[in-house]
Amino acid sequence: MKRRSGQDRSVTQHWRPATLAVRGGTARSEFGETSEAIFLTSGYSYDCAEDAAARFAGEQEGMTYSRLQNPTVEMLEHRIALLEGAEACRTMATGMAAMTAALLCQLQQGDHVVAGRAAFGSCRWLVDTLLPRFGIQSTTVDARDSRAFEAAVRPNTKVFFFETPANPTMDVVDLKAVCGIARERGIVSVVDNAFATPALQRPLEFGADVVAYSATKMMDGQGRVLAGAVCGSEDFVTNTLLPFTRNTGPTLSAFNAWVVLKGLETLDLRVRRQSANAVTVGQFLEGRVPRILHPGLPSHPQHALAMSQMVATGPIFAFEVADRAQAHALLNALELIDISNNIGDSRSLMTHPASTTHYGVSAEARAEMGVTEGLLRLNVGLEDPQDLIDDLDQALRQVGL
Ligand SMILES: *Cc1c(COP(=O)(O)O)cnc(C)c1O
């Protein structure tokens, strides 16, 4: 592989994010292909036995096995690290593989974690069910209140884990305040940045230590593949994350890495347009539905905080109707917007979290995090927002709203 400019820090450090999203990390083969090549290979061969030995000993640069290294996957890792402003990044097969690795790689029996209570259903399962099974205690807090993190700290607290904006209630966490509390106490803050992507919010700039992604969402952006990523310091990635992932194997396939590389080329365009569309659609729904949870609207109690740490608030927001029956009736009345629990797609998608994404969370925990029976979550896509408004309008009429 020719190491072309897309991987050379001395060249790329001057590039702005939209340029990095298109070119960062690109490494061309001897054929000089413009679009990144897909290296679908599980292994690598060596010119001689001594080379194989030197590579395993870490004395020779090069790849040994695709669970550990792959040229296409490395291009994606370089690109995400550049966009995030992180020293290093490792991709994973899914967002949940990324969250699991980011937590388990640094925790052990006897440790304690403080987590935001509004979270993706599987993230709550990790914190509430999996960690305690291995003797790692956890406390969930209302992450909108930075002091709640402080109050929950114990002598053995090792990690703060939260997302902002949070799925699906759109709670916003004060990154600077919460990451500051962590840093003062030597606690590692792990931020799930799936709802924002580095195009809208870069938690490391606010003092976060580790940023984890479901790249399935806006990074692919077209609903095609599952992928995840973990970003942090070179020290964290090399000495803490890699020993865990190299041996447990949550590796991203080269094909899926390539799809996400193509997705990143349009990330900046998509998230800006989808954020603008989500504000337009949110403005229509405001006043038409009993309650809307949209950090991009001035009516959201954390609007100012969201705008102070994000470029724009992204494609996703939530709103409430009376109850489950009305929520299901509204979904069934939609003609353009799909009923789907995915997000970050260029298509508009709507779901009822209590019966889908948060079905596995206890009714008690759902109530505590604000996932009510009437809550609906909307991912606003790249369609003309007026068509989305027309669809919502006819569906709302059908359910008497
Ligand atoms: C989707 C999502 C995940 C899990 O990602 P997968 O790619 O589906 O495994 C984690 N956190 C948040 C906030 C998500 O939206």
User: Which of 265, 289, 307 represents a domain boundary (last residue)?
Assistant: 265
> From the alpha carbon of 215, which atom of ligand 1 is closest?
7
- Return the CATH number at 106: 3.40.640.10
Q: Which domain holds residue 307?
A: 268-398
Do residues 319 and 373 both lie within one domain?
yes
Question: Is the minimum distance from the CB of 216 to ligand 1 under 6 angstroms?
Answer: yes
Element (H, E) at 268: helix 267-285
User: Which of 265, 296, 324 represents a domain boundary (last residue)?
Assistant: 265
Could you read off the pLDDT tens digit of each residue along the chain, which spans 401 residues?
555 567 777 788 889 999 999 999 999 999 999 999 999 999 999 999 999 999 999 999 999 999 999 999 999 999 999 999 999 999 999 999 999 999 999 999 999 999 999 999 999 999 999 999 999 999 999 999 999 999 999 999 999 999 999 988 999 999 999 999 999 999 999 999 999 999 999 999 999 999 999 999 999 999 999 999 999 999 999 999 999 999 999 999 999 999 999 999 999 999 999 999 999 999 999 989 999 999 999 999 999 999 999 999 999 999 999 999 999 999 999 999 999 999 999 999 999 999 999 998 888 889 988 999 999 999 999 999 999 999 999 999 999 99
Do residues 118 and 249 both lie within one domain?
yes
User: Which of 223, 246, 265 represents a domain boundary (last residue)?
Assistant: 265
Question: Is the minimum distance from the CB of 120 to ligand 1 under 6 angstroms?
Answer: yes
Question: Is the minimum distance from the CB of 123 to ligand 1 under 6 angstroms?
Answer: yes
Q: How far is ligand 1, taken at its centre, from the CA of residue 94, in Å?
A: 8
Question: Is the minimum distance from the CB of 217 to ligand 1 under 6 angstroms?
Answer: yes
In whole angstroms, what is the distance from residue 344 CA to residue 335 CA? 20
Beta bridge partners of 138: 113
Do residues 259 and 344 both lie within one domain?
no
Do residues 251 and 360 both lie within one domain?
no
Provide the residue type at 282 as one letter: G
Counted domains in the chain: 2
| Cβ-contact 27, 252 below 8 angstroms | no
Name all contacts of 188-191 with Cβ < 8 Å and 24+ positions apart.
Answer: 188/106, 188/158, 188/159, 188/160, 188/236, 189/159, 189/160, 190/102, 190/103, 190/159, 190/160, 190/161, 190/162, 191/162, 191/163, 191/164
Do residues 182 and 160 both lie within one domain?
yes
Quick one: pLDDT at residue 385? 98
Sign for the pseudo-dihedral over CA of 224, 225, 226, 232: negative
Do residues 54 and 110 both lie within one domain?
yes
Do residues 106 and 166 both lie within one domain?
yes
Do residues 290 and 377 both lie within one domain?
yes
User: What is the reported pTM?
Assistant: 0.96
271 closest CA partner among 325, 195, 202? 195
Do residues 215 and 300 both lie within one domain?
no
In whole angstroms, what is the distance from residue 252 CA to residue 63 CA? 16
In whole angstroms, what is the distance from residue 325 CA to residue 215 CA? 33
Q: How far is ligand 1, taken at its centre, from the CA of residue 306, in Å?
A: 20
| Cβ-contact 378, 318 below 8 angstroms | yes
- Return the CATH number at 355: 3.90.1150.10
Do residues 124 and 52 both lie within one domain?
yes
